[in-house]
């Protein structure tokens, strides 16, 4: 069975702050990648996450942007929203590669590689690779989208300890690892996180899951 001919196109977003490269990548995909539906192209991080088209199934993003949001924070935010991420880099360093992959990127490619490699990585990420053995898991429609702006009244006042615990937990650590990183007892770290959830709950911004906490942390600028 030819999956590519029966499955709906993969909703794709591109993020690159170099307009010429963004144009070139967009043109190639539109001409040579019928499995990909390019629904969003953005030249800034905020333009991406504030778009009505976000989250998409897949985001292909440049490693280096003029904005100060780290690659780890960008990848984690996309993953929390339900989008898979491929990172493209003009300068391939072990540190950047490790940071992107540790945050959950499905692939890290050099911009010197041919576009066919990027396409292959995109199809593999979505279970449509040449092998054809990877079953695509059904996914529910993502319901979260970062708000264009969070009113000050909706931003809970977090103590230094609560803010640090939130940042560490949203970064992928367990509660025990948060306690160790903060050099506090497990129950103390647990209390910090409970208070964070309570404060966001009172502000009408749910944090029942780790994904929710990542979203709140990203919206309020704690993931940098």
pLDDT tens by residue, the chain, 224 residues:
444 457 899 999 999 999 888 898 999 999 999 999 999 999 999 899 889 899 999 999 999 888 888 888 899 889 888 899 999 998 777 778 878 888 889 999 988 888 999 999 999 989 887 644 434 444 433 344 444 456 777 788 999 999 999 888 877 788 999 999 999 999 999 999 999 999 998 888 888 777 777 777 777 777 65
What is the pTM for the complete model shown? Answer: 0.62
HSE-CB at 112 with a 13 A cutoff on CA atoms is: 3
d(CA 32, CA 39): 15
d(CA 192, CA 163): 8
């Amino acid at each position: 069975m030819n999956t590519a001919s029966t499955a709906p196109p993969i909703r794709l977003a591109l993020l690159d702050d170099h307009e010429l490269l963004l144009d070139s990548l967009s043109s190639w995909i539109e001409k040579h990648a019928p499995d990909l539906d390019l629904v969003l192209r953005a030249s800034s991080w905020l333009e991406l996450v504030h778009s009505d088209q976000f989250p998409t199934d897949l985001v292909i993003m440049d490693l280096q942007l003029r904005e100060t949001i780290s690659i780890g924070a960008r990848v984690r935010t996309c993953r929390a929203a339900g989008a898979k991420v491929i990172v493209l880099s003009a300068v391939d360093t072990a540190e950047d590669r490790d940071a992107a992959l540790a945050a959950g990127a499905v692939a890290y490619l050099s911009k010197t590689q041919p576009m066919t490699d990027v396409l292959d990585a995109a199809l593999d990420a979505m279970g449509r690779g040449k092998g054809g053995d990877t079953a695509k898991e059904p996914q529910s429609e993502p319901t979260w989208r970062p708000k264009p702006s969070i009113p000050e009244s909706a931003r809970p006042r977090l103590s230094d300890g609560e803010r640090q615990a939130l940042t560490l937990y949203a970064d992928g650590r367990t509660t025990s690892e948060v306690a160790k990183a903060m050099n506090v007892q497990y129950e103390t770290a647990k209390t910090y996180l409970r208070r964070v959830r309570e404060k966001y709950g009172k502000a009408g911004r749910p944090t029942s899951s780790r994904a929710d906490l990542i979203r709140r942390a990203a919206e309020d600028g704690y993931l940098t």
